Amino acid sequence: MLSPLPGWAGGETLSMSTATDSEVVTVSTSPIEGMRPGTSGLRKKTTVWEMTENYSLIDTAMESNGGKMLDTVVVAGDGRYYNNDAIQTIARVLAANGVSNIWIPQDGIMSTPAVSAVIRRRTADGSGEDGQGVAQGGIVLTASHNPGGPEEDFGIKYNEGLGQPAGEEFTETLYEKTLEIKSYRTLNSDGIDLSAPVGTEYQLTPTSKVTLIDPFENYLDALKSCFDFDGLKQFTSRPDFRMLFDGMHGAGSKFARRVLVDELGMPESALMRCDPLPDFGGCHPDPNLTYASELVKRMGLRADGSADDSVDASSLPVLGAANDGDGDRNLIAGAGFFVTPSDSMALICDNYDAIPQFASKGGLNGVARSMPSSAALDVVAEARGIPCFVTPTGWKFFGNLMSSKESFDGKDYGPFLCGEESFGTGSDHVREKDGLWAVLAWMSILSKANEGVGEGEPLTSVREIVTRHWAKYGRHFYCRYDYEGVESESANAVMDFIRSSFVGSDSGTFEANEAGIRLVGAEEFSYEDPVDGSRTSKQGLILNFELASGDPARVVFRLSGTGSSGATIRMYLERYEKDSSRHDMSAPVALKELADVALKLVKMEETTARNAPTVIT
């Protein structure tokens, strides 16, 4: 174990620590197959990463930095099994390659949005404003919402200098390099103590040092720039406000405790599963109706998102929320009421005046959603005259939009709101989705809706806020079926079949079924990035339907890009209903008929031998 400068008592930043007798070594290696990053970094079984050094990340980062080695890089992870071993390995590789400053959070754990905040804000001597950050990149060790453990997943993701996930060009170059790798450089050295005080420095080579940084500082600054913490503290301390936050034992847990308990003064009982664990307590840390089952139950909900009528809603928390393994996803619920991620985005957009980050700048300059997300956002954006972008799945596409001036008729990029059906919501305060940000956004909406509601009077609930929204804009019934662990060949066969049988066919070709549901057309989504002009194709197959009522409906098929073995087919279902007398139905029920029609059309059971999805959310 490397020790910091002898005689150091902690408490202040060290000027310099002793170098050890570590030497740079070059080790021969050969390529590992299949190291192409997916929707969000590269996720593989943990055992694959026992060769972490064998990954051409730093060479790629240098190439994308104009051939110059990076000066400052952040390395942090979501705390899953192998987190700290990987940090030690990566620190050695970075030092051996000449990165001067390696910033690692004390104890190694940070949520993904917190890493983005460090990249964007942290100056050489600590905190800084947005845009003043000096790190040129961050290495985030996470497989997000995938389970963790020796037999489960580990992942590595690279974020670029604005704090955003690496773009297509970077990930493609990285992949090509993994096919050619012959050697890597590392240090022959002991590990460092990640639990040492913040500010501790380890001089790994004469020109490279590790500094242990405060995990919270920059991220808290970012959140405080978005929300009125004093106002929220006042609202949440009302005796009739109660909340329940499920950290799923992920990295977001410690940030939730810091914000909800330490900053806003909520009781510990507002938290559940808020201690980060290497195997997430054996759970699947994905905040959806299936995997956040205890929270779902404690919010008076059934697994299909409908209210459990046997529970008295007045005894339930006013707000329920969960974050995923790396704290970037969120689930939002009210008492006996589940808010779909697509609706959540639309609601935040319509209520931007409740959020100081937007309200103080006169509203939103732009919004964006991923293609498979529902069009609920588009309807609000249109009504409010806000430019709305539809991108492929993956946060990197939002990052580009947010950081550009051109796409907004020359206006500055901010303030910007974006999100995905996959429980991701965020804004331009960082360049990642942000689970805790979404929770504070909803708290702000609730707080504003309850201005003037005196103690003893009933609080305006999440249910009321959302149903009023539907009455105004119509409801987009939405749900998703996942077929997990399908053989890759069958999954591809389903996609090929849809492509060859429906895409480009004339709308008159198809007949309505008994229920009057008719396929009217199909297309394959591709995207031309308005900022850098890059084209991304094959981003999902869209089947457009017309219902007996004449209302439109849509079913999208897409293969997941975040699994580590086999394939996951996702089927996204959506239909629009203007009539508020028909809004009070659970989404999976409202979409069941459409789902059956689509599954039959694409021959799902015949091709995959699956007669039911693994997850409905």
Give the residues lining the site for Zn ion (CB under 5 A). 144, 324, 326, 328-329
Residues 147-166 that bind ligand G6P (CB under 6 A): none
The alpha helices in 269-410, defined as continuous H runs, are 293-298, 341-350, 356-359, 376-384, 396-402
CB of 323 to Zn ion, least distance (A): 8
Q: Does 400 bind ligand G6P (CB under 6 A)?
A: no
Closer residue to ligand G6P in complex, CB, 396/448: 396
CB of 399 to ligand G6P, least distance (A): 10
**Interface stretch with ligand G6P, choices 43-51, 89-97, 273-281, 416-424 (CB under 6 A):** 416-424
Judged by CB under 6 A, the residue of 39, 100, 544, 549 near ligand G6P is 39
Rounded to a whole number of angstroms, the minimum distance from the CB of residue 39 to ligand G6P is 4
Residue of the chain from 52, 357, 393, 400 that contacts ligand G6P (CB under 6 A): 393
Q: Is 356 in the site for ligand G6P (CB under 6 A)?
A: no
Site for ligand G6P in 362-381 (CB under 6 A): 370
Question: In this complex, which beta carbon is closest to ligand G6P, that of residue 393 or of residue 490?
Answer: 393
**Least distance CB 144 / Zn ion (angstroms):** 3
What is the torsion angle, in degrees rounded to the nearest 10, for the CA atoms of residue 124, residue 125, residue 127 and residue 129?
-50
- Count of residues near ligand G6P by CB under 6 A: 14
Q: Using alpha carbons only, give the angle 241, 244, 245 rounded to the nearest 5 degrees.
A: 130
Closer CB to Zn ion, residue 185 or residue 369?
A: 369
CB neighbours of 362 closer than 8 A, spacing ≥ 6? none
- Spell out the long-range contacts of 447-454 with Cβ–Cβ below 8 A and sequence spacing 24 or more: 447/231, 447/232, 447/235, 447/236, 447/354, 448/351, 448/353, 448/354, 449/354, 450/235
Minimum Å gap between C-beta 370 and ligand G6P is: 6
Q: Which two tokens stand for residue 90?
A: 């990566």
Q: Compare residues 54 and 562 and give the one whose CB is closer to ligand G6P.
A: 562
Q: What dihedral angle (degrees, nearest 10) is formed by the CA atoms of 300, 306, 312, 317?
A: 40
DSSP alpha helices (H): ranges in 191-250?
Answer: 217-224, 229-236
CB of 167 to ligand G6P, least distance (A): 13
Amino acid at 251: A
What is the smallest separation between the CB atom of 223 and Zn ion, expressed in angstroms? 18
- When asked if residue 40 is in the footprint of ligand G6P (CB under 6 A), the reply is yes
Q: Which is nearer to ligand G6P, 22 or 40 (CB)?
A: 40
Tell me if residue 121 falls in helix, strand or coil.
helix
User: Which alpha helices (DSSP H) does 65-111 contain, by range?
Assistant: 83-96
The answer to whether the beta carbons of residues 325 and 280 sit under 8 Å apart is yes
Question: According to CB under 6 A, which one of 154, 337, 395, 525 is a site residue for ligand G6P?
Answer: 395
What torsion, rounded to 10 degrees, do the Cα atoms 544, 547, 551, 557 define?
A: -30
Question: Is residue 260 classed as helix, strand or coil in its secondary structure?
Answer: helix
The stretch near ligand G6P (CB under 6 A) out of 232-240, 384-392, 419-427, 488-496 is 419-427
Residue 200 binds what, of Zn ion, ligand G6P, none (CB under 5 to 8 Å, by partner type)?
none
Residue 15, Cβ density class (10 Å: 0-12 exposed, 13-18 middle, ≥19 buried):
exposed
Contact flag: residue 101 with ligand G6P (CB under 6 A): no
Active-site choice (17, 144, 370, 444): 144
Binding site partner of 561, from ligand G6P, Zn ion, none, Cβ cut-off 5-8 A by kind: ligand G6P
Q: Which of 237, 251, 293 is nearest to 436 (CA)?
A: 251
Q: Is 394 in the site for ligand G6P (CB under 6 A)?
A: yes
Pick one of ligand G6P, Zn ion, none as the site partner of residue 326 (Cβ within 5 to 8 A by kind). Zn ion
Distance CA 373, CA 421 (A): 5
Smallest distance from the beta carbon of 143 to ligand G6P, in angstroms? Answer: 10
The question of whether 144 is a catalytic residue gets the answer yes
Classify strands 153-159 and 42-45 as parallel, antiparallel or unpaired. antiparallel
Q: Which of 534, 505, 464 is nearest to 601 (CA)?
A: 505
Beta pairing, strands 208-213 & 416-420? unpaired
**Residue closer to Zn ion (CB basis): 52 or 323:** 323
Distance CA 281, CA 248 (A): 8
Q: CB of residue 37 vs Zn ion: minimum separation in angstroms?
A: 15
The answer to the question of residue 474 lying near ligand G6P (CB under 6 A) is: no
Q: Which stretch binds ligand G6P (CB under 6 A): 128-136, 175-183, 303-311, 390-398?
A: 390-398
- Give which of 291, 296, 298, 253 is closest to 271, Cα–Cα: 253
Q: Alpha-carbon distance 75 to 155, whole Å?
A: 13
Q: Between 546 and 585, how does the x/- string for binding to ligand G6P read (CB under 6 A)?
A: --------------xxx-------x---------------
* Under 8 Å between Cβ of 299 and 335: yes
Site string for ligand G6P, 107-146 (x = CB under 6 A): -------------------------------------x--
Nearer to Zn ion, 147 or 414 (CB): 147
Report what 374 binds from Zn ion, ligand G6P, none; CB cut-off 5-8 Å by kind. Answer: none
Beta strands 243-246 and 319-323, pairing class: parallel
Q: What are phi and psi of 175, to 5 degrees?
A: -60, -45
Residue 560 site contact among Zn ion, ligand G6P, none (CB < 5 to 8 Å, cut-off depends on kind) = ligand G6P
Binding site for ligand G6P (CB under 6 A): 39-40, 144, 370, 393-395, 420, 422, 424, 560-562, 570
- Report the catalytic residues: 144
